[in-house]
Structure 1
Amino acid sequence: MEKKSEINGHAMAGSASTDRIVEKSAQKSFREKLLEFLRKNLLVILTVSGVLVGVGLGMMVRNMSLTKAQMTYFAFPGEMLLRMLKMIILPLVVCSLISGAASLDTRSLGKLGGIAVAYFLVTTLIASGIGVTLAFIIKPGVGAGALNTNNLGLESVSSNKETTDSFLDLARNLFPANLVAAAFRSYATDYKMVAVGNDTNGTVLYQKVPIGTETDGMNILGLVLFAMVFGVALRKLGEEGEELIRFFNAFNEATMVLVSWIMWYIPIGIMFLVGSKIVEMEDVVLLVTSLGKYIFASILGHIIHGGIVLPLIYFGFTRKNPFSFLSGLITPFTTAFATCSSSATLPSMIKCVEENNGVDKRISRFILPIGATVNMDGAAIFQCIAAVFIAQLNNAELNAGQIFTILVTATASSVGAAGIPAGGIITIAIILEAIGLPTNDLSLMLAVDWIVDRTTTVVNVEGDALGAGILHHINQQEMKKQQHQEEELAEVRVEAVANAQAEEETSPLVTHQTKALEATPEAIESVL
């Protein structure tokens, strides 16, 4: 007769059959594990494959010598991805910042905001320092004096904007005069020559007068500041503001659903974005031989800052492995590499930071939109290298004052740099104006910007993500500390109550007094 064992009241067959069941479940679990791994990482695998297929596709199509019009048609699927991502930026930034600022306590908001600003400033300053140091070690501009913009068939880039006006525009954009217009226009200073009279010879004298103009492009800085302050104001309203907070929370969640749908199109879009860039490339050999040292210095700076400095800062704060944190963000990094836009990477970054790394929604949705706007570590590195490169190109010796000006200007102006492709080129013009160098060599930067801008954007978004991770850790520690203090207080209260009861029961003085008082009520009345 077959042996039977009982588990939880159910009769089970003998050991031979159980072994078979265990073996089957082991096989099944391995298959399940593989399927689960593929299901979890399918988007990452598809996105990375999209880049590789894009490179191959670009190389194949490059040999077909397409016309400019045909190149535009080839790039169309990639353009659609960029349009989708840009479409989602406005509701995502505004709603996530309002709901983020409204959900955080005002005191913790101030503390977290302070830590975030300090982190952004310090990392950008370190990045600027790395950029300047590498530029002086590698000397990318030395020996490239013979290089001329005409050799490369480039258009000249001119910028006659004063440094003062650049920073004043930054302040003006923080407070947009029209919120609706801020969704698609920014403030920019232009100049007009105004006749102010004649000199002794009768020649008309002119003065350059700054006038305000509007340029195309979302004023994301103004929208970020308004959304943060508006979120705090809703929090202050208390119950009256609850409905509006719930509305923005719902709007935010709906936007994230849209983001999850768009993310499935990212691999296809990336394939054509990368492919079209390879097809559009001019004579790469000439560019790399003439500007190779500049490209090398910039990418090396990004590797040092993104691969060593930022992970060390994260480890210093959290004592956790930074690379396991970054491994959950391959999709946004690939998107950053393909789109060259911090803003366009924001939707997938928020989603991955929350889902893969477990960062608190309130933290990620508050800090990442700010980071995408003001934290530009990668840009600071290549801007400093570019400024020193142009100085070396023009055989200009930089003194200590000018080097300090480069560091400070690069750090400050990276705040105002647009999170769009080639957004940093305009910022280099501000740095060059500040140290008194000509801006006509900027077209050289534009020639290779499509190479350097890819690693720049990856480092920019990595800095934001690690910042969110650090803030999440600090917030967790604060909450644990608060919880511990509350538990201690509760224990103290319990002990105090117990002691009071014990005294009442055992102290002979207390019992004696109460008995005496009970015995002589008249005495009490007389005393009163």
Structure 2
Amino acid sequence: MEKTSEINGHTVTNSTASTASTEHMVEEEKSAQEKMRSRCMEKALDCLKKNLLVIMTVSGVLVGVGLGMLVRNMDLTKAQMTYFAFPGEMLLRMLKMIILPLVVCSLISGAASLDTRSLGKLGGIAVAYFLVTTLIASSIGVALAFIIKPGVGAGGLNSNSLGLESVSSNKEPVDSFLDLARNLFPANLVAAAFRSYATDYKMVAVGNNNNNWTTLYQRVPYGTEGDGMNILGLVLFSMVFGVALKKLGAEGEELIRFFSAFNEATMVLVSWIMWYIPFGIMFLVGSKIVEMEDVVLLVTSLGKYIFASILGHIIHGGIVLPLIYFGFTRKNPFSFLSGLITPFTTAFATCSSSATLPSMMKCIEENNGVDKRISRFILPIGATVNMDGAAIFQCIAAIFIAQLNNVELNAGQIFTVLVTATASSVGAAGIPAGGIITIAIILEAIGLPTNDLSLMLAVDWIVDRTTTVVNVEGDALGAGILHHINQKEMKKQQQLHQHLEEELAEVRVEAVANTREGQETSPLVLHQLKEGEGTPEDIESVL
């Protein structure tokens, strides 16, 4: 006999009820699966939206390599190569256009928004970090040059066999350092936006020798204005001007707000330019591959030098800098760096720390949550003075040229290389091939010929890519460390403030209790109680 049951007032058999419940369960499972799918789709789309620019930028590099290899076989003329590189040139021009307002406005608003004491403390920590990391980088470069010995056995290698033009530099090391100091204080701020000071030499007649037949000449240094923005001078002026505005108080507030608004507007422009980066990078990389002469001969001839330089960058950027960051913050450095893939790719393609500054600022604030006051204060300074990657390849290049000329360097000369590379990398221009000029200063300091610099210039386009990435990474991790230290200090101050408030609250409670005790035992209270004018509670509430 078939059992019956009632569902919604209708009599149904048990078999029908079980079928209905099974169908209901199947429907629930389907709806749950659909929800899971929609959630996964939402997450995937969300992830794609967040990382779209990164994916496009990396794809731009890969497509650029393929495009370059394809166009390379077409035997383009010099004019056609220029036209092919035009979209990449436009990217560099846009990035360089934004550097001046970005550096000046961000530093003025950053210096003005920070307290003078914290500004001095943060500035001191930043300078110490930059100097220590650059000195470590120089040491790595020297050590690798002596271990790998890129110049040993390459004595027959010269620029003529590779079809390279010679590069000469007759600048004295003393004048190079004096130029650094002169550029810190530009005589004309407007001119500093597009020109920098550089020493040149001329021969001046100083009289005749004893027999009056021969005129004696003396080499005299004189100042010239060379093309290229004097970022060092603009950085120092902007910082000091920001502090001066802060000191003005209420009178300086309007100008501080102006520079802050200018800076925010500049960052909006940066966000627009960033969407052009993948397209521009594609042609930048592609044009470099098309322009290459005989890359196989260069790489085989200078392979050990290239290998030593890139290995130094991997050690410093992949091990040393992350360890320093971890030592200060106790956080995973690679999760911090994963939010900065776009600026790293830009650095790799443009070979310019200054050109990477706009995208670095935007990504470090939005992806890594670094305080705007910290990032906009420290990153422009880092892009100018912190050149870890440059210090590595400059030391390797100097020792490579010494080995090439069969010169044994003594301890004093090695120390000179270390110190000169660390100090001169501060003034190195944040532009492609900016470090080659600095190598000339190191060579002059240890008394080596500069005619082999053309070898460095020949492969600089390879080495300069990893150099710029390491330079930029050092700036980013420095900003992360300063942000962490700042947050720690703020927490300490909040805890101290909270502790003081708690102590004051306890003092107030004790004071009230003592007052009440005094009131209850006073003759006035006793007198009122005797007369029956009110209860103790009434008297306390009134008093």
Bin of the TM-score, shorter chain as denominator length? over 0.9
Please name the residue that 1:28 is paired with. 38
Task: Give, in whole Å, the separation in 2 of the partners of 1:154 and 1:165.
Answer: 28
One-letter identity of the residue aligned with 1:337: F
Please name the residue that 1:82 is paired with. 92
Q: Which one of the candidate residues 61, 71, 79 is aligned to 1:61?
A: 71
Please name the residue that 1:97 is paired with. 107
Q: What SS is found at the alignment partner of 2:203?
A: strand
Cα RMSD between the aligned structures?
1.8
Pairwise CA distance, 1:18: 6.2
- Describe the superposition over 1:37-66 as per-residue Cα deviations: whole angstroms up to 9, x where unpaired: 110000000000000000000101111111
Please name the residue that 1:265 is paired with. 276
- Under a length normalisation based on structure 1, what TM-score does the superposition of the two structures give? 0.93
Pairwise CA distance, 1:506: 3.5
Please name the residue that 1:315 is paired with. 326
Please name the residue that 1:186 is paired with. 196
- Under a length normalisation based on structure 2, what TM-score does the superposition of the two structures give? 0.91
Distance 1:20 1:485, change over 3 A: same
Please name the residue that 2:531 is paired with. none
Please name the residue that 1:421 is paired with. 432
Please name the residue that 1:157 is paired with. 167
Please name the residue that 1:474 is paired with. 485
One-letter identity of the residue aligned with 1:24: E
Equivalent pairs, count: 507
Task: Give, in whole Å, the separation in 2 of the partners of 1:148 and 1:32.
Answer: 59
Pairwise CA distance, 1:291: 0.5
One-letter identity of the residue aligned with 2:96: K
Task: Give, in whole Å, the separation in 2 of the partners of 1:329 and 1:101.
Answer: 24
Pairwise CA distance, 1:503: 2.2
Please name the residue that 2:221 is paired with. 210
1:236 equivalent in alignment to 2:247: yes
Query: Following superposition of structure 1 onto structure 2, how do residues 268-417 of structure 1 map, counting pairs within 5 Å?
Result: 268-417=279-428
Q: Is the 8 A contact 1:98 1:227 kept in 2?
A: yes
Task: Give, in whole Å, the separation in 2 of the partners of 1:112 and 1:16.
Answer: 63
1:176 equivalent in alignment to 2:186: yes
Q: What SS is found at the alignment partner of 1:397?
A: coil
Task: Give, in whole Å, the separation in 2 of the partners of 1:368 and 1:211.
Answer: 33
Task: Give, in whole Å, the separation in 2 of the partners of 1:511 and 1:413.
Answer: 80
Distance 1:490 1:147, change over 3 A: same
Pairwise CA distance, 1:288: 1.1
Gap regions ≥5 residues in structure 2: 1-6, 10-23, 529-543
Distance 1:449 1:20, change over 3 A: same
Q: Percent of aligned pairs with the same residue?
A: 84
Task: Give, in whole Å, the separation in 1 of the partners of 2:265 and 2:32.
Answer: 44
Pairwise CA distance, 1:17: 6.5
Distance 1:488 1:204, change over 3 A: same
Task: Give, in whole Å, the separation in 2 of the partners of 1:23 and 1:311.
Answer: 42
- Describe the superposition over 1:84-118 as per-residue Cα deviations: whole angstroms up to 9, x where unpaired: 00000000000011111111111100000000000
Pairwise CA distance, 1:155: 0.9
Q: What SS is found at the alignment partner of 2:155?
A: coil
- Describe the superposition over 1:179-211 as per-residue Cα deviations: whole angstroms up to 9, x where unpaired: 000000000011111101011132111111111
Task: Give, in whole Å, the separation in 1 of the partners of 2:171 and 2:76.
Answer: 38
Q: Is the 8 A contact 1:193 1:209 kept in 2?
A: yes
Structure with higher Rg: it is 2
Please name the residue that 1:137 is paired with. 147
One-letter identity of the residue aligned with 1:301: G
One-letter identity of the residue aligned with 2:139: G
Query: Following superposition of structure 1 onto structure 2, how do residues 441-456 of structure 1 map, counting pairs within 5 Å?
Result: 441-456=452-467
Q: Is the 8 A contact 1:504 1:511 kept in 2?
A: no
- Describe the superposition over 1:285-336 as per-residue Cα deviations: whole angstroms up to 9, x where unpaired: 1111111000000000000000000000000000000000000000000000
Q: Is the 8 A contact 1:51 1:271 kept in 2?
A: yes
Gap regions ≥5 residues in structure 1: 4-13, 519-528
Please name the residue that 1:225 is paired with. 236
Distance 1:2 1:330, change over 3 A: farther
One-letter identity of the residue aligned with 1:40: K
Please name the residue that 2:207 is paired with. 197
